[in-house]
Each structure stands twice: as C-alpha cells, then as structure tokens.
Amino acid sequence: MFSLEEGTYGKSILNNSSIKTFFSLEEENINLLSQYTNISEKEKIEIKSLKRGEALMFVGDNHILTKIESADYENKIIKGEFQ
C-alpha cells in the first residue's frame, strides 16, 4: 500500500486506524513503517524478531506486545479434525 501513489493509501490506512497490529516484518518494511509511525528502536527490533502468533499492537498511545493463540477447536479445524 505504501508503494502506490507515493504512500498515500498506506498513510491513510494507518492514520485512520484506531488499533494497528503488526506481525513480523523484514528490515526494509520496518524502516518504511517507522516513517509513518512513532515506533522506537526497541520496537523495531521486537517487530523483526516476532514469532508466529506474536504481534505488536498500537492501541491509542499504548504499544503492546501480544501473543495470539488458537483454541483447541480452532486447531482441530486447521488440522481438518473438526466434525
């Protein structure tokens, strides 16, 4: 979204979102993200090292590291074991 119209769409999405969730990103994307948000150097490192199911959430002025886990029934659906 940041590559279209010189980032106009990406900036608009970020600026109009009250809750932002960022999963693991590579260095290039983290640098791009830092141009449009107020992430700290520590948060840049955290975003780069997030594992599967982990995210950095921006809720207002709060930046929260979050772990998202699926419930047992969701695991069964994913594995095709749900009946």
Q: pLDDT tens-digit profile of 20-57? A: 888 998 888 888 888 878 888 999 999 999 998 899 99
Supply the pTM of this predicted model.
0.69
Residue, of 10 and 62, whose pLDDT is higher: 62
Rg (CA), the chain: 16
- SS3 label, residue 14: helix
Q: In the structure encoding, which two tokens stand for residue 75, read together? A: 């695991």
- As a whole number of angstroms, the distance between CA 61 and CA 71 comes to 29
In angstroms, the CA 42 to CA 49 distance is 11
The domain limits of the chain are 18-79
